[in-house]
Chains A and B, each alone.
Chain A
């Protein structure tokens, strides 16, 4: 009797473990085609040649990846110092202008939704950003008010950054992207 109960419990535990791993990875995995550059991660094969993890992720989230001819979406969950992005800290995104026909940088919450900041600004695009005389730009991301390009953060604890490059000069077969081709995410003061 004890043996039978133990076997059933054991099988249920194995089943839950397997399903749990699938559930977690379908949520978080960037797939086998993930390319990293500092804190930025992109799956360059997400749309054209998706692996089972990417397929499961799209199926679960409803996400439609950009075709490689259209663009690349980079995601960052950490700053350049390696620490997770937190709404309690101030960040400066220091622009190395990505080489693309058009780009946009967006702040989103962990569920993939847009962070509703107090001023509704959630993103900047290459056509609307204010640049200095040399054509360089910076975006402040924080809860306190900043001058210049500023994306206000909401009261949620953590957030993610997305960088969308449309018609980029990075191609699908790329396996590494030099760090200085993408913007830096510098962490400032934290509360």
Chain B
């Protein structure tokens, strides 16, 4: 009787040990799969904002983002939203606008994965103007080499943390009747390739 009991005990202990062992391996494998897929997801996602923007139109200019493109990424219906993709390989990109007094306007610069590496609002205007030149480190070096030391720089030169990416522009629509005016403020923002400050070669 005692021998049989010991055998049964040994059998269940072994089974429990094996099961525990299996569960541990399963959790570890699942964890590895989870971490790997999590890190790979942004690289292969086709729904992210940048991919959708450049798929539609890769040229550097401001376009209004309507509800269609941004429904899944919830957009405040009280905001007029614009975007402008950039490829610094084609040259520096100038973003320039004269914000209207007291109207909220923000401009943010994003790398393709959506990370914002810089953002300003209308409060940062100098001489009633926001004037930003987005450059790579090499482009900045060439531009600075051509700078006239007597002449103060009239723009904010911003080094991008990625050669490709997008600029977002937001302004609030205080009342539904003001939507058109708000959208006009967005599309009037200049966002274009500007090689004028690069040395000619």
Chain A residues closer than 8 Å to B3, beta-carbon distance? none
Interfacial chain B residues near A162, Cβ < 8 Å: 74, 76
Q: Is the Cβ of A70 less than 8 Å from the Cβ of B170? A: yes
Contact of A61 among B34, B47, B76, B123 (CB under 8 A): B47
A166 with B119, Cβ < 8 A, contacts A62-B48, A112-B73 known:
no
Choose the segment among A32-40, A82-90, A102-110 that binds chain B (4+ C-beta atoms closer than 8 Å).
Answer: A102-110
Q: A69-B106, A127-B175, A167-B121 known; A13 and B26 CB under 8 Å?
A: yes
Q: How many A-B pairs with Cβ below 8 Å?
A: 167
Decide yes or no whether A53 CB sits under 8 A from chain B: yes
Pair B41/A56 contact, Cβ less than 8 Å: yes
B88–chain A nearest beta-carbon distance, Å: 19
Interface of A is mostly: mixed
| Docked-complex contact B29 and A104, CB < 8 angstroms | no
Question: Residue B77 at the A interface, CB < 8 A?
Answer: yes
Interface members, chain A 38-97 (any B CB < 8 Å) = 47-50, 52-53, 55-56, 58-71, 73
Name A53's contact: one of B26, B32, B38, B116 (CB within 8 Å): B38
Determine if A106 and B119 form an interchain contact, defined as CB atoms under 8 angstroms apart: no
CA distance A22 to B45 in the complex (A): 13
Please count how many residues in chain A sit with their CB below 8 Å of the partner chain's CB atoms.
53
Whether the Cβ atoms of A122 and B77 lie closer than 8 Å is yes
B70 within 8 A of A: yes
Q: Which residues of A contact B175 (CB under 8 A)?
A: 125, 127-128
B residues lining the A interface (CB < 8 Å): 22, 25-26, 29-34, 36-39, 41-42, 45, 47-49, 52, 69-74, 76-79, 104, 106, 108, 110, 113-121, 123, 168, 170, 172, 174-175
- What are 20 A-B residue pairs whose CB atoms fall within 8 Å in the complex? A14-B26, A14-B29, A18-B32, A18-B37, A19-B37, A47-B114, A48-B116, A48-B117, A52-B38, A58-B114, A59-B113, A62-B72, A64-B73, A64-B110, A66-B108, A67-B108, A69-B120, A108-B74, A123-B77, A166-B104
